[in-house]
Amino acid sequence: MSAGVLALDGVKIVEFGGYAAGPHIGKMLANFGATVVHVESMSRPDGFRMQYPPYKDGKPGINSGGCFTYFNDSKYGVTVDLKNAEGLRLAKQLAGWGDIVIENMRPGVIDRLGLGYETLRQSNPDLIMLSTCNMGQTGPRADTPGFGSQLSALAGACGLTGEKDGPPMLLYGPYIDYIASTLGAAAVLAALERRQRTGKGAYLDISQYECGLLFLAGPLLEYNRSGKIAERVANDDPDAAPHGAYACRGEGWIALSCWSNEEFARLCGAIGRSDLTKDPNLTTLAGRKSAASLIQDALCGWARDRDAHEAARLLQSQRVRAHAVNSIADLFADSQLVSRRLWRRRRHPILGDQAYCFPAFDLSDTPGDITAAGPVLGADNERVYRDFLGLSEDEFIAMRNHGAMD
């Protein structure tokens, strides 16, 4: 979809699946030039299309959902009915065209559909296939269905979020899905590297649960070493004081932390409380932790009438770690994110201009891009089936008339 030279130009990816965990892998790779075909059916479109707001003008519609488009930019969208014999033939042809197949159905479903790895590699021997699901393809609970919003709880992240004596907290959405999709993208690229060197394909079994645990590898090793169970402690950190969020003017908050006596001295100077540095009790981490309420009062008093963003600028000018707690709206005005073009607007036929999120890295010589808005359902059937797979016009029409693209 792009005229420029991109890192993954020529890499062809086919996605069977929906929601976040599978499609977000393809989105990241599409942003660096991979040709990605997102497969749905008319009767079973991607669940993100209809089950998750927001919608254009608040009206749910198959092509008016911003959640679906947000995770499927820069891709081609096709429909195929996998329950239709001709549709299955078309799907197999598509999988044969791809270098990489990504699926996130429940274990066994893709095999029962006739699109499992062992089947596909018969005609595409160096195929790389990635399956991602909650528990992985094996194990006593392999067949557990699930969404990432809940799996994040099983994997420990929710239990470690919240006040010490309060309930656990959600990190908004299917937090763990994006861990697994990020790590899944790394796995796909590593398999591609191996294929370049050896000519061998690969089958990659991703358990979203296990991926999430890598983000808590330290606390898990600590438990295995000592039996110590990690607990939620609001914003505290064992190695820093102060370390927290402080209310500012209006709805604003500022997060800041000090990791050494020098940093604490700079903070005290910046807020006009150098007197605190003369208190011998505050010259050690332990002392500052035991005097937490004294420091809290000083910081709250200083922050209360200040704009959070201005306060952060002032503290940073004194080399103190600080940042305003950005609201989600703030992210679109954040000077750093604007400067780095994190948000890139692309036009969608129903939604109009939508801001798409670029990955968190870029490459100096082959930079990526958001090349197109997310596709409407079946938008690219003709392009993909005719141009990519080489169907003649008659074959394409016959397939369509047989219901293969329903």
Partner 1 sequence: MLDCTGRLGWLAGRLLADLGADVTRFEADGADVSSAEWHALNVNKRLVRADLSVPGGRRMLEQLVATADILIATPNPGAADAGLFNYQRLCAINPRLIVVAITPFGLTGPKADWLASDIEIMAASGAMSLAGEPDGAPLRVSAPQSYAWAGGQAAVGALTALAARWRTGRGQLVDVSAQAAVITALSHAPTFVDISGITPTRAGAYMTGRSVTGANYRVFWPCRDGFINFILYGGAAGRRTNEQLVAWMRERGVELGPLAVIDWARFDPTRASQVEVDAMEVPIGRFIGSLTKREFLEGAHQREMLGYPVSNTADIATDPQLEARGFWQDVLGPDGRTERHCGAFVVVDGARPSLVRPSDDPGRAPQKVRGA
Residues 203-222 that bind partner 1 (CB under 8 A): 203-207, 209-211, 213-222
Rounded to whole angstroms, the Cα distance separating 62 from 364 reads 38
Footprint of partner 1 on residues 336-375 (CB under 8 A)?
336-337, 339-340, 342-343, 351, 354-355, 357-366
Rounded to whole angstroms, the Cα distance separating 306 from 165 reads 30
Q: Where are the alpha helices (DSSP H) in 227-272?
A: 261-270
Which position among 42, 62, 113, 247 is part of the footprint of partner 1 (CB under 8 A)?
A: 247
Work out whether 174 is an interface residue with partner 1 (CB under 8 A): yes
Which position among 237, 262, 297, 387 is part of the footprint of partner 1 (CB under 8 A)?
A: 237
Rounded to whole angstroms, the Cα distance separating 3 from 153 reads 43
Close Cβ partners of 87 (under 8 Å, ≥ 6 residues apart)? 41, 80, 81, 402, 403, 404, 405, 406
Footprint of partner 1 on residues 114-153 (CB under 8 A)?
135-147, 149-153
Work out whether 324 is an interface residue with partner 1 (CB under 8 A): yes
Neighbours of 10 (CB within 10 A): 9
Rounded to whole angstroms, the Cα distance separating 263 from 318 reads 9
- Of 88 and 230, which has the nearer Cβ to partner 1? 230
Contact 208/180 with Cβ under 8 angstroms? yes
- What 3-state DSSP class applies to 127? coil
Work out whether 43 is an interface residue with partner 1 (CB under 8 A): no
- Of 245 and 389, which has the nearer Cβ to partner 1? 245
Total residues binding partner 1 (CB under 8 A): 155
Q: In whole angstroms, what separates CA 192 from the centre of its chain?
A: 21
Work out whether 113 is an interface residue with partner 1 (CB under 8 A): no
- Of 170 and 291, which has the nearer Cβ to partner 1? 170
CB of 393 to partner 1, least distance (A): 34
Rounded to whole angstroms, the Cα distance separating 33 from 99 reads 14
Work out whether 236 is an interface residue with partner 1 (CB under 8 A): yes
Rounded to whole angstroms, the Cα distance separating 4 from 17 reads 29
CB of 43 to partner 1, least distance (A): 12
- Of 279 and 332, which has the nearer Cβ to partner 1? 332
CB of 388 to partner 1, least distance (A): 20
For residue 397, how many C-alpha atoms fall within 13 Å in the half-sphere facing its CB? 3
Rounded to whole angstroms, the Cα distance separating 67 from 64 reads 9
Work out whether 85 is an interface residue with partner 1 (CB under 8 A): no
Work out whether 316 is an interface residue with partner 1 (CB under 8 A): yes
CB of 332 to partner 1, least distance (A): 6
CB of 69 to partner 1, least distance (A): 8
Rounded to whole angstroms, the Cα distance separating 164 from 173 reads 22
Contact 107/133 with Cβ under 8 angstroms? yes
Which position among 120, 185, 370, 405 is part of the footprint of partner 1 (CB under 8 A)?
A: 185
- Of 93 and 261, which has the nearer Cβ to partner 1? 261
Which position among 165, 275, 328, 393 is part of the footprint of partner 1 (CB under 8 A)?
A: 328
Work out whether 190 is an interface residue with partner 1 (CB under 8 A): yes
First to last CA, the chain: 25
Footprint of partner 1 on residues 47-66 (CB under 8 A)?
47, 51-56, 58, 60, 66
Phi/psi of residue 168, each to 5°?
Answer: -65, 165
Helix axes 308-317, 261-270, angle to 10 degrees: 120
CB of 383 to partner 1, least distance (A): 24
- Of 169 and 389, which has the nearer Cβ to partner 1? 169
Which position among 187, 241, 248, 370 is part of the footprint of partner 1 (CB under 8 A)?
A: 187
Contact 292/300 with Cβ under 8 angstroms? no
Phi/psi of residue 117, each to 5°?
Answer: -60, -45
CB of 47 to partner 1, least distance (A): 6
- Of 91 and 211, which has the nearer Cβ to partner 1? 211
